[in-house]
A = this chain, B = another copy of it.
Amino acid sequence: MFYHVKELQFNARVSKPDPAFASLLLEQFGGANGELAAALRYFGQAFGARKPFPDKYDVLMDIATEEFSHLEIVGATIQMLLTGINGDLKNAAERAEIMRLLDGKGAKEQMIHESMVAPQFLVGSAGTPAFTNSQGVPWTAAYINGDCTGDLTADLRSDIAAESRAKMVYEYLLQFTDDPYVKETLNFLMTREVAHFQMFEAALESIKPNFPPGVLQSDPRYSNLYFNMSTGNDFSGPWNSGETSEMRETYQYIEDPIRYVMESHGLSGQMPQGTHRTMETVEQLDRDMSQLRSREINMAAPVDQEQEWNTPAGGMTSTERDTI
């Protein structure tokens, strides 16, 4: 169950209205890498995690709830930056200030930089944030549905990446405002993305093995091939020479993929090279991992029982935590 207290997690303030920056800030309200995307991504992933991995469920829900609280901070900041618009629009009979400002002649010109103000603030929501990005594109779950794969080692990697992207957006936004209060808020929010990054990284590290994601191993015949598909000005680096980063196989560099593919009739008869893995060891590992992973899930949520969500799942108390 969710609960709300009317205080914001961070004491957000603004010095003066700035609809143009409010429009840019929508990127963090309803954008691809914004707070709504973050909150719903982790919230959605949490459902699947809960039974087999209640500790991961805990961290996902902690962060999801914090992201909802950040969404509120961003929305509150946008709302404060839009102060004046709704009041002006309500003064409908007297022909509002707004029109004069948009003609570029008004004294409050600083307030509304016409050129970047989202039209939705003027003729749509009339001074209230909407769930769009900075260009008015409605938020869509297409941003995040793919990030829930039913496998935590994949999902947590998506979360680390998502926090990286959200951090970048705050870093850029910081360069488009001079308001010291707003900068304080953005700085707090940017920092929390970095904090969450490390939490997800730690959670991922606590699952072993975590590579490759899922259960099935990669095929040793194809796992260390590097196809030089874009030729001219080629480079060598640890991504195509030496050993692969996780499996420590030796890269096989295919200099001329067209010739290679034609001559091998589409890699027919390819054999493992530069690796100690064999088809047999892979098969065995597949079977072992299958048993391990399916058992831990099926035991946590047996298919032939009634299910009740509110049953406690046996959490541990922290002893080593540095609690405030």
**Chain B residues with CB under 8 A of A141:** 30, 130-132, 138-140
Q: Give min CB distance, A142 to chain B, whole Å.
A: 4
| B318 with A266: CB separation less than 8 A | no
Question: How many copies of the chain does the oligomer comprise?
Answer: 6
Cβ contact within 8 Å between B239 and A324: no
CB atoms of A95 and B175 under 8 A apart: yes
Contact between chains at B222 and A72 (CB < 8 Å): no
**Does A126 contact B150, Cβ atoms closer than 8 Å?**
yes
Q: Which residues of B contact A5 (CB under 8 A)?
A: 1, 3, 230-232, 258, 261-262
Is the beta-carbon distance between B48 and A127 smaller than 8 angstroms? Answer: yes
Q: What is the CA–CA distance of A10 and B225 in the complex, to the nearest angstrom?
A: 13
A41 shortest CB reach to chain B, Å? 9
Q: Is the CB of B131 within 8 A of A44?
A: yes
Cβ-neighbour of A3 out of B4, B215, B302 (below 8 A): B4
- A190 x B218 contact (CB < 8 A): yes
Beta-carbon contacts under 8 Å, A90-137 to B: 90-96, 98-99, 102, 111, 113-116, 118-120, 122-137
- Interface contact B83-A301, CB-CB below 8 Å: yes
Query: Distance in Å from the Cβ of A275 to the closest Cβ of chain B?
Result: 11
| With known contacts A5-B262, A297-B86, A146–B143 Cβ distance under 8 A | yes
Is A318 within 8 A of B158, CB to CB?
no
- How long is the Cα–Cα vector from A71 to B142 in the complex, in angstroms? 18
Q: Which residues, 143 to 193 on A, are CB-close (under 8 Å) to B?
A: 143-151, 153-154, 157-158, 160-162, 164-165, 167-169, 171-178, 181, 187-188, 190-192
Q: Which residues of B contact A255 (CB under 8 A)?
A: 323-324
Across the interface, name the chain B residue whose C-beta is closest to A264: B11
Known: A44-B130, A94-B290, A154-B161. 7 other contacts (CB 8 A): A1-B5, A3-B257, A24-B123, A93-B290, A126-B172, A131-B141, A190-B218
